[in-house]
Amino acid sequence: MAAVHTRRRVVNVVALTLSGCATLLGLVFLAWILWVTLKNGLGAIDWKLFSKITAYADQGGLSNAIVGSLVMDAIALLICAPVGVLAGAFLAEYAHRSKLGATIRFLNDILLSAPSIVLGLFVYVIVVLPMSNLTHGAVSFSGLAGSIALALIGLPVIVRTTDEMLQLVPGTLREAALSLGIPQWKMTVQVLMRAATSGIVTGVLLALARLAGETAPLLFTAFGNNFMAWHPLDKMESLPVAIYQYTNDPNPALHAIAWAGALLITLFVLTLSLLTRLLFSRKKVPHE
Amino acid sequence: MSSIPATTEPVDVDRRSRTDARHDALFRLLLKACALLVLAALLGAALSTLWGGREVLFGHGLHFLASDAWNPVTDDYGALAPIFGTLVTSLIALVLAVPTSFGIALFLTEIAPAWLRGPVATAIELLASIPSIIYGMWGLFVFVPFMSRIEPALNDTLGRIPLVGKLFQGPPIGLGLLTAGIVLAVMILPFICSVMREVFRTVPTRLKESSYALGSTTWEVVWDIVLPYTRSAVIGGIFLGLGRALGETMAVTFVLGNSYNITSSLLMPGTSISSSIANEFNEAVGTHRSALIALGFLLFVVTFVVLLIARLMLRRLARREGN
């Protein structure tokens, strides 16, 4: 008996210790990555980064990449936020228990973790190629195509959050609104969405945090551009793509600039995800 | 709530309620169209990559799937090497990430004091929000040199073991399948862990307390009560992580070494579907480009199936819980 007892206790202690070690390991990797980014990034941040374009290479900065990222992220949000919120409202209000609703909800969860590089190929085939054929090559890769690819990445995040947040709104609110005789669309937009505003905003911010760091889908949609571009139909540089190119380059001076860009993105994304937590800390926030 | 109509007086239908009904119908249509866009996106991604890769998928047929050649000069393409790299790196990632995630989930649900759970869980989830390009940079500039220092030791220890040893013999260059697998493991860890943590919390306290009352240790409760109760969702979480690992691009592109190899050693450089596409697409023309899009189609189909299984497994638990 005593032997069995000792063995069970030893197994327990070993397992719990290993579990603590696993947690420590996870935290070590987080600290390692953040520390390296911070150390290398802070050393390379200077005024040139924001004032000069990538055409000057190691004498330059990332201003066109920063502008391109901001423009494309903004257009992507303009596309996916309204579509995503409306689609989420459909799932929560009109298709709560229908078969179509269940199917869309299910496939939306798959789109949520679909490989982003395939979404980039998708946009390349349906936007970049036709545009190039239509304009005889005058417009091919473009900031707009990049934005569409990013919108596809943000869309499922917004759909899912809106759906869940609207379902959290109490049913009595719906009944009260309808009993006053207002049409269902007005109830959805003016009562339910207003009640779930903070949740919906959380979803949009989560989507932004997700798409701001995406690189793969931009490679063959927005392509990249060493000069400043504001027009959405021009090829556009972006921070992640600039980092990708500079990291692939053997020149260490470019690596330093890439680290500075990496620090900017990381700070932006981490601030956003911590902000969403604060904004909506009491209720459940869907992630993944 | 959809069954409650906005107009309830069929006898006294005035103009206002007819307008409202029309607006409601339009609104519903608009919402439905937006929701169907989600379907269109998935279907479109499958069809467009099938269309873009048709030249190689239908023209070369089985040769594309079964050949390990990848030669843009002679336009001879086989997907075997990228498929091999994708599968091997994802498998390494799973082998490393599943036990670690389980350990972290166990720590966060059963062991850690309440005040520690929130901050540690947040920190682990932050790993998921770090952009993959940052993982790639860290991997190339920091982790690859680190691995190249460790690999000689791997050669001398694990490499000596018969049978398994072959996996760990190779040049200590740091780049390669093993390094890519480890970076992927760190990336997918928060996803698997967050699913596990969430489902571990759904286990009824009564069950656990009954087991404790019979004299079980914490480990026995987790292994014999919590894990069997949440089995399908845990498998779902693992498949979710696998789906992520298969499709990940930027983190592996830098550290994989980019060579079309099928080797028995994990320390050798290789390639993966996503890193081949990312590396070659913008220089590729004609058949080469078609072959890369065809690779994208393969990747989409495989991840779709894996994610489908994941979601089905996760849904089974949700149904039992009654949501």
If asked whether residues A125 and A37 sit together in one domain, one would say no
> Same domain for A97 and A161?
yes
A28 and B CB contact within 8 Å: no
Verify that A57 and A32 share a domain, yes or no: no
Q: What is the pLDDT of residues B91-125, one digit of tens each?
A: 999 999 999 999 999 999 989 999 999 999 999 99
Over range A4-17, report the average pLDDT: 92
Cβ atoms B235, B313 nearer than 8 A: yes
The answer to whether the CB of A287 falls within 8 A of the CB of A274 is no
H or E element that contains B70? strand B70-71
Neighboring chain A residues of B127 at a CB cutoff of 8 Å: 26, 29-30
Total domain count, chain A: 2
Residue A23 belongs to domain spanning: 1-44
A158 and A122 both lie in a single domain: yes
Mean pLDDT (whole number) for B6-26: 75
Same domain, A9 and A106: no
Percent of chain A residues past pLDDT 70, beyond the cut: 97
Residues A25 and A63 reside in one and the same domain = no
Nearest CA in chain A to B249: A216
For residue A155, the chain B residue with the least C-alpha distance is: B38
ipTM metric? 0.91
Residue B77, H or E segment: strand B76-77
A110 in the same domain as A227:
yes
Quick check: B293 pLDDT over 90? yes
Share above pLDDT 70 across residues of chain B, in percent, rounded to a whole number: 94
Residues A88 and A108 in one domain: yes
d(CA A47, nearest CA chain B) in Å: 22
pLDDT tens digits for A202-248? Answer: 999 999 999 999 999 999 899 888 888 889 999 999 999 999 999 99
Same domain membership, residue A107 and residue A72: yes
- Going by pLDDT thresholds of 50, 70 and 90, the confidence category of residue A285 is very low
Whether the model clears a pTM of 0.80, i.e. scores above it, the answer is yes
pLDDT at B318: 61
Q: Is it the case that residue B258 has pLDDT exceeding 90?
A: no
Separation in Å, CA B252 to CA B131, B187, B225: 13, 11, 37
pLDDT at B162: 79
Examine the pLDDT at B140 and tell me if it is beyond 90: yes
| Cα nearest neighbour of A181 on chain B | B6
Best residue in A9, A18, A118 for a mutation probing chain B (most B CBs within 10 Å): A118
Mean pLDDT, rounded, of chain A: 91
Do both A25 and A96 map to the same domain?
no
pLDDT in tens, A162-203: 999 999 999 999 999 999 988 999 999 999 999 999 899 999
pLDDT exceeds 70 at position A98: yes
Task: Judge whether A202 is closer than 8 Å to chain B, CB to CB.
Answer: no
Q: What is the pLDDT of residue A287?
A: 42
Per-residue model confidence as pLDDT tens digits over B45-78? 999 999 999 988 888 878 888 888 888 888 889 8
Residues A64 and A52 in one domain: yes
CB atoms near residue B87 (< 10 Å) = 15
Residues A28 and A98 in one domain: no
Q: Which residues contact B119 (CB under 8 A, 6 or more apart)?
A: none
CATH number at residue A147: 1.10.3720.10
Q: Which residues pair with B257 in a beta bridge?
A: B270
